Amino acid sequence: MERRDRLRMLMARLDSKGKLEKLMKAHEEEEAASTAVAKDAEEEMVQCPFYTEGSKELLNARIDIAKYSIRRLAMRPQRAKEKRDDPDEGEDEDLDIDLALKQAEI
Q: Are residues 64 and 95 in the same domain?
A: yes
Q: Are residues 81 and 98 in the same domain?
A: yes
Q: Are residues 35 and 66 in the same domain?
A: no
Q: Are residues 41 and 10 in the same domain?
A: yes
**Where residue 59 falls among pLDDT bands split at 50, 70, 90?**
very high
Beta-strand ranges (E) seen in 16-74 are none
Residue with the bigger pLDDT between 4 and 40: it is: 4
> Is pLDDT at 55 greater than 80 in this prediction?
yes
Q: Are residues 32 and 62 in the same domain?
A: no
**Could you give the dihedral angle defined by the CA atoms of residues 4, 9, 10 and 11, in that order, rounded to the nearest 10 degrees?**
90
Count: domains in the chain: 2
User: Given this model, what pLDDT does residue 1 score?
Assistant: 67
Q: Are residues 42 and 61 in the same domain?
A: no
Residue with the bigger pLDDT between 14 and 40: it is: 14
User: Given this model, what pLDDT does residue 89 score?
Assistant: 63
- The whole domain housing 37 covers 3-47
How far is residue 35's CA from residue 4's CA, in Å, rounded to a whole number? 27
48-67 burial, b for 16+ CB within 10 Å, e for fewer? eeeeeeeeeeeeeeeeeeee
